[in-house]
Amino acid sequence: MNARILGVAAFAACLAMPVYAAVALSDAAGSYTISPSGSSIRFTIGKAGGGGFDGAFGRFKGTIRIDNSDVGRSKVDLTIYPESVGTGQGRIDAFLRSDAVFDAANNPEIQFRSTSITRTGDTTAVVTGRLTARGKTFPEKFTAELGGLKSGTIKFHVTGKVLRSRYGMDVGTPLYSNVVDFDMTLTGRRG
Partner 1 sequence: MQTSITNTPTRYGWAMIVLHWLIGIIFIGQFVLGYVMVRIESQRTSFELIQLHKSFGFLLLGLIILRIAWRLGNAAPALPASVGTLERRTAPLAHFALYAFQVALPLSGWALVSVSTLEIPTMPFNLFVMPNLPLTESDASESFWTSAHWYLAYAGIALVALHIAAALRHHFLLRDAVLTRIITPSSSGE
Q: Applying CB under 8 A, which residues contact partner 1? A: 47-49, 51, 53, 89, 91-92, 94-95, 98-101, 171-172, 174-176
50-59: which pairs have CB atoms within 8 A and are 24 or more residues apart? 52/177, 53/87, 53/92, 53/176, 54/87, 54/88, 55/85, 55/86, 55/87, 55/92, 55/96, 56/85, 56/86, 56/87, 57/81, 57/82, 57/84, 57/85, 57/86, 58/84, 58/85, 58/86, 59/83, 59/84
Number of Cβ within 10 Å of residue 118's Cβ equals: 12
Cβ at position 177, least distance to partner 1 in Å: 11
Q: Taking a C-beta distance cutoff of 8 angstroms, is the pair 109, 80 a contact?
A: yes
Cβ at position 175, least distance to partner 1 in Å: 5
Cβ at position 148, least distance to partner 1 in Å: 36
CB-nearer residue toward partner 1: 50 or 191: 50
CB-nearer residue toward partner 1: 85 or 186: 85
CB-nearer residue toward partner 1: 66 or 101: 101
- Calpha distance 133→172 (Å, rounded): 18
Cβ at position 58, least distance to partner 1 in Å: 21
CB-nearer residue toward partner 1: 101 or 117: 101
- Calpha distance 160→123 (Å, rounded): 16
Question: Do you know the residue count of the chain?
Answer: 191
Cβ at position 172, least distance to partner 1 in Å: 7
- CA nearest neighbour of 127 among 74, 180, 179, 165: 74
CB-nearer residue toward partner 1: 12 or 85: 85
CB-nearer residue toward partner 1: 49 or 191: 49
Cβ at position 183, least distance to partner 1 in Å: 21
